[in-house]
Amino acid sequence: MSTAERDELIGCVLDDRYRIIRRIGIGGTGIVFEAGCTADGSTVAIKTLRPCFVDHIDLGARLQREVEVARAVRHPGIVQAIDDGVLIDGSPFMVMPLMHGESLSRMLLRRQRMDVAEVAVIASRTAAILHSAHCAGYVHRDVKPEHILMNRSATGDLTVHLLDFGVCSSEGAPDEERKREKGKVFGTPTYVSPEQASGEVDIDGRADLFSLGIVMYEALTGRVPFSGATVSKLLVRIIRENAPRVSEVVPEVDSDIDALIAGLMARRPGDRLPSARAVARSLASHIGDRKLVERQLAKTVHASARHTDTSPTVRCKALPKRNVA
C-alpha cells in the first residue's frame, strides 16, 4: 500500500467547491482526505477509492451505497453525506463531516477491558443505530470496534457513531449484485456471523446482532471468541462451533448479561433476539443511571483530530478450540 496514493489530488479543487488539503486516512480500498469548502471555509472529509480499484464496479457501487444509506437513514449516529461526485478518472467520491473521536478499538487497546454498564451503554447506542438502518432495509455486515466511534460533545455528553456502511447489504439491491455476492464473505472475518461466514446472500439484521455480541464479548473479556490459523479455519469455527460464554473468562459477570451475549452469538439466527431494538431494551437494566454512565464514559474518550481513529484490536486473544454441540 503506497503512502503516496492519490497525492495528485492534494491542492486540487473538486467540483469547484472542495479544495483537498491533506490525506488523513487510507484503508484496504479507500482513501480519506481533509478538504476545505471554498464557499464558506468549513472543513470536510472526502472519501474516494484507491487508484488500483478505480475500475472495480462493485467497490464503486459500495461507495455510492454509503451515500445512499447516509441519506436514507435518519439517525444522528450515522455520518451524513454532505455531497458526492465523480473524479476525473471516473471513480466516485463522498463528502462527509470531518469526524473527531476515538474508536472503541483504540479505547480497548488502552483499557483492555470495560465494565458492564459502559459496554451496555455503547452496545445500546450502537443497537439503536442498527435498528434505524435495519428498518430502512440495510444490514451493516461489518460491525466491529473499529467502526464504533465515540466522542464528547461541548456539553460533556457522549456521542456514538457507527461508521462505514461500505459493505452493507440492501434489500433493494439489483439481482446482478446479489448474484455476484453469492458465496462471498463480506465483513471482517473475526466479527462475521455464521450466515455471513457461509457466504449466504439472504441475511437480515440478526447477522449484525451476532457481530454486536462479539463486540460486547471482546469489551468485557479483553479477547475475541473465535480465532484460527487461517481465515478459512476461523470461518469454519464460526460456522460450526458455539461461542464461549463471557462467564468462562470473567466468572463474576452478571448471569443476565452473560446469557444476553450468548443469545446474540447463537449460531442460528432464529435463536437470537429478534431485533436491534429488542437488544437495546434488554440492555437498559444493565446501565443503571444512563446519563451518569454516559457522561463518565465520555470523559475517558481520547478524541483524535483525524477523521477516524480505527486501529485494529491486535491485542485480542481467543479461547481454546471448543467442540461442536
HEC string for the chain: CCCCCCHHHCCCEECCCEEEEEEEEECCCEEEEEEEECCCCCEEEEEEECHHHCCCHHHHHHHHHHHHHHHHCCCCCCCCCCEEEECCCCCEEEEEECCCEEEHHHHHHHHCCCCHHHHHHHHHHHHHHHHHHHHCCEECCCCCHHHEEEEECCCCCEEEEECCCCCCEECCCCHHHHHHHCCCCCCCHHHCCHHHHCCCCCCCCHHHHHHHHHHHHHHHHCCCCCCCCCHHHHHHHHHHCCCCCHHHCCCCCCHHHHHHHHHHCCCCHHHCCCCHHHHHHHHHHHCCCHHHHHHHHHHHCCCECCCCCCCCCCCCCCCCCCCCC
270 and 125 in a common domain = yes
Domain boundary among 46, 64, 97: 97
d(CA 248, CA 269): 23
d(CA 102, CA 147): 10
Q: How many CB atoms lie within 10 A of CB 298?
A: 20
277 and 215 in a common domain = yes
Q: Domain limits at 44?
A: 7-97
Residues of the chain with pLDDT under 70: 1-3, 174-175, 177, 181, 304-325
Whole-prediction pTM value? Answer: 0.88
286: domain CATH number is 1.10.510.10
112 and 51 in a common domain = no
Domain boundary among 97, 114, 138: 97
Catalytic residue (choose from 142, 164, 258, 309): 142
What is residue 46's predicted lDDT score, i.e. its pLDDT?
92
44: in domain? yes
What is residue 308's predicted lDDT score, i.e. its pLDDT?
45
107 and 133 in a common domain = yes
279 and 149 in a common domain = yes
81 and 204 in a common domain = no
Return the bridge partners of 86, or none: 92
16: in domain? yes
289 and 194 in a common domain = yes
Please count the structural domains in the chain: 2
84 and 25 in a common domain = yes
82 and 164 in a common domain = no
318: in domain? no
181: in domain? yes
Q: How far is CA 118 from the centre of its chain?
A: 18
Of residues 186, 170, 160, 138, the one with CA closest to residue 28: 186
284: in domain? yes
306: in domain? no
What is residue 312's predicted lDDT score, i.e. its pLDDT?
38
Cell numbers that stand for 77 in this block: 449516529
Of residues 263, 299, 284, the one with CA closest to residue 116: 284
Q: Is 142 a catalytic residue?
A: yes
137 and 23 in a common domain = no
Q: How far apart are the first and last CA of the chain?
A: 42
55: in domain? yes
Residue with cell string 470523559:
299
33 and 111 in a common domain = no
86 and 133 in a common domain = no
39: domain CATH number is 3.30.200.20
Whether the CB-CB separation of 6 and 46 falls below 8 Å is answered with no
76: in domain? yes
d(CA 127, CA 77): 10
Domain boundary among 65, 97, 129: 97
